[in-house]
Each structure stands twice: as structure tokens, then as C-alpha cells.
Amino acid sequence: MQTSLPYSPSEHRATLALNKSTIIVWVAISLVLVETFSGAMRFYLDQVGASALMYVPKAACFALFILELPHFRASRGFWLGLLMLLTSGVLAMLHGASLGNVGFALFMYSPLLFGLVCGEHLEHRKRLLGLIIGLCLVASLVGAGLDMFTQVPWKGYSYTLGDTELSGNTAWSAGGADRIAGFTRMSTSLSVLIAIYALYLAAFTRSRLLLAGLFCVAIVGIYVSTNKSTVAAFICTLLMLPFLRQRMTCRALFFGAVAMGLALPIIGLTMNFDPRLASAYSDSSLASLYDRLINTWPMVVHSVHQQGWSLFGSGFGMVGSSVLLFPVYSADTQAVCDNTAVYLWAAFGAVGVVLYALQLPLLIALREKTSWMGRALLSICFCIALVSWTTDVLEIPIADLFIGLAIAHVLRRKALPSTGMPERRKINRNPNDPAPDRRNPNGRNPYLPSFKTL
């Protein structure tokens, strides 16, 4: 008696792939939701003693990164980068960092690693992800309005983790204006999230009227957060979009965006600014820039140089949020750098500067991609490059996620569209019929797929 399986092996593999894509996209969605509502969720989850749920999406990102890593087709440069990360972590521990510093830094950057390895699956579920991002954009705007016109309960909330007191939502003002954070933890996070969400949704929007409305609402939402650098970066990104068809113009813009991020700290070090400018222009829109030029960047560079870490950096886990949670008392660490180039240099030394400069080939490669995802990731990465002038963007998980997606999109081998190669049709030809003429330039081989539809 002959038995047959209820499904074929190919159908079984397709089902497994579908389930994997579903799990991956829902992990990405959970990360987007948690980061959009991070301030409010931290407040309410603490009330019921379930604050550990805040860490589930990042933990899932790291778990999927580990599971997918053996199946990830990567070049030698990728594995060399992982080896460099491991070496830098060992260096940080030699400089006085604990295993907690390195582990938390790896946990914090897990969205970038997740996007890098699992990015292809997220592109296949773009509609579902786009719907959630659209809802999160609306929620971010609503949260900004609530924070602006009402007194939200999570404003200024702080919590204790171990022996360290951390901020669940930062309440502060600049220039006499309240920094609106909405449902998130900080105004910077809110502004960057609105910019990324709007640029991602723009790839789905066909109507010019809806596109104009989307951009106007996003600009208003970012402006309400009083984060001036993100407003300028978002507007500059919109001005860049009409030049996408001009290769050399785009390359010049990309070079300027990356070079300026490197040049600003150098200007702060080499130019002799009057220290009184930072306080004299405290009410000016350039007050924060003056403060970084005069105080923040020179102090960070001086601290790293004095400890002899200029060439190889302080190590992975010795810069950023990890030193707030796990203080390193034997060294002068940098929790805030306010510039991603300085941030990477402080952590990885000269290699960090190279990593920052790699944004240029990334942007150039994304411009060559003509897909909807390529255009969306190009605009997002260009905006992130501009924001990185005055922000540690690697501390923002959603920015990390889309940077990982962009790298994965570029590294993917240029082949057929995501729909895949059409299956060859089985044609039952009479053996007495003459074979098709493969040398006929005007004829088409019936046994090969038509590439006009690809």
C-alpha cells in the first residue's frame, strides 16, 4: 500500500521559511512598539513589577542573531568585524571594564546585529511592518501633543537598577522651552523616531498630496520636540531626494554629510573659541552647538588621549550607556559624546573613524538600488548621518535597526528580484519534432524563462 505525505518537501520548507519570517517580523514589531512607548511603558510596568518585559525585544533580537548567524552568507569582512568586536571587548576588560559592560553593550547594539542578519525576512513582510510603523508614527505625534498640553504621569520618572538610578523619562528644558519626549524617554529619541518612521512610510506613498502631508506633519512633530538638529537633518534629507537621479551631485552630498561629522569635532579642537560663547548664546538656536564645540568634544578627546587610548580606543563597552549602568571607577569613561564619530573613535580608536567613514560607500551603494526598500533606507541613512553630527545615534535602537537593514540590503548579492526566479515550465515536446534553434537571435528558447518580466 502506497502512502503519501500531506505535504511535499518543498511545501514543508516554504512553511518553515514563512514561520521564520513571521517570528522575525514580530520581533521587529515588538522592538518598534517598545521603543515608541519606552517612557510610558517603563512607568506602568514598574507599577506592576513587570519592568523586565522592556528587555524582551532586544533579548529576542540577540537570540535570533545567534540562531541565524550560522546560515548567514557573509563576506570575510563581516567575520573580521565580529572578530574586531570581540578583540575590542577584551581590550575594554583590560582597561578595567567588567563583563557586564561588554554584555550590556552587545545587548544594546543587538537591533543592529539583528537587522544585519535578518533584514531579508523583514523586507518580505514590508506591508505588516509598514502598518505598525504608521501606527507608531501617529502614536508618537499624539504623545508629543499630550506631553505638550497636559501633565503626563511618566514625565521625569526615574527608577533604580541595582545600585544605579536611571531615567525612565527625562524632564528638562533648554532655552526656557520644555523638551517634549512624548511616550519615549528623551526628546532626541522622539525626534529621530518620527523622522525614521516618516521616511520609511514615504516609500509606500504614491500620492504627492499624501506625501506632502506626511512630511509636513513629521516636521511639525520633530519641531515640537525642540530638537533642532533633527529638524534640520530631516529637511535636508527632503531637499536631497530630488537629486537622486544625479549621480555626482548625490555623491557630493553624501561626502559632505559624512565629512562634516568628522570635521566638526576637529574644528572644536583646532579653533580657539571663547569659552564665554556657550553661556553668552544660551538662548540662541546654536547654543547647544557652541557648547559641544567648546566643552563636550574637546573634553572627550582630551580624556581619551590622556589615558593613552587614542589609537585603539577604550574598548567595546567603555563608551555610552553601558558605563552608566556598570560604572568603571578605575578609568575616566565617556557616557555621552554628542557626536557619533567621536563616539566610535573613543570606543574603537582609528578603526572607529574608519567605521564612521564607511557611511559614504554605504550611501553610494544604496543609491544604486532602485527598489522601494533601497530608496527608503537611503533617505533614512542620510538623515541618520546628518543627525550623527550632534547625537550618539548608536544609542537609539530604532536607528540601529535600520542601519543594520541598510548594511544587509547592500551586502546582499545583486541577483533577481525578491519574488525569485520563475519556475521552468515543463513542456512535453514530441521527440520527432526538431529541437529549438538556440542560435536564432530573434527567437526565444521555450525552455528558459522570459527575462523581460524580471
pLDDT digits (tens, 9 = 90+) for 24-57: 999 999 999 999 999 899 889 888 888 889 999 9
Is residue 385 within 8 A of residue 359, CB to CB? The reply is yes
Closest by CA to 389, choosing from 311, 316, 289, 300, is: 289
Tell me the backbone φ, ψ of residue 193, rounded to 5 degrees. -65, -45
pLDDT digits (tens, 9 = 90+) for 199-215: 999 988 888 999 999 99
Domain ranges in the chain are 15-411
Asked whether residue 228 carries a pLDDT value surpassing 80, the answer given is yes
Task: Provide the residue type at 30 as one letter.
Answer: S
Asked whether residue 350 carries a pLDDT value surpassing 60, the answer given is yes
Residues 1-19: what's their mean pLDDT? 51
Where is average pLDDT lowest: 38-52, 74-88, 282-296?
A: 282-296
CA angle 368, 371, 373 (to 5 degrees): 105
pLDDT of residue 220: 94
Reported as a pLDDT band with limits 50, 70 and 90, residue 432 is: low
Average pLDDT over the chain, rounded to an integer: 83
Closest by CA to 54, choosing from 77, 30, 90, 78, is: 30
Q: 66-88 burial string, b = 16+ CB within 10 Å, else e?
A: eebeeeeeeeeebeeeeeebeeb
pLDDT digits (tens, 9 = 90+) for 252-273: 999 999 999 999 999 999 988 7
285: burial class by Cβ within 10 Å (0-12, 13-18, 19+)?
Answer: exposed
Closest by CA to 144, choosing from 233, 220, 234, is: 220
Q: Which three cell numbers stand for residue 164?
A: 544605579
Reported as a pLDDT band with limits 50, 70 and 90, residue 284 is: low
Q: Which three cell numbers stand for residue 327?
A: 560604572
Closest by CA to 35, choosing from 111, 97, 125, is: 111
Task: Provide the residue type at 400 as one letter.
Answer: D
Residues 404-419: what's their mean pLDDT? 70
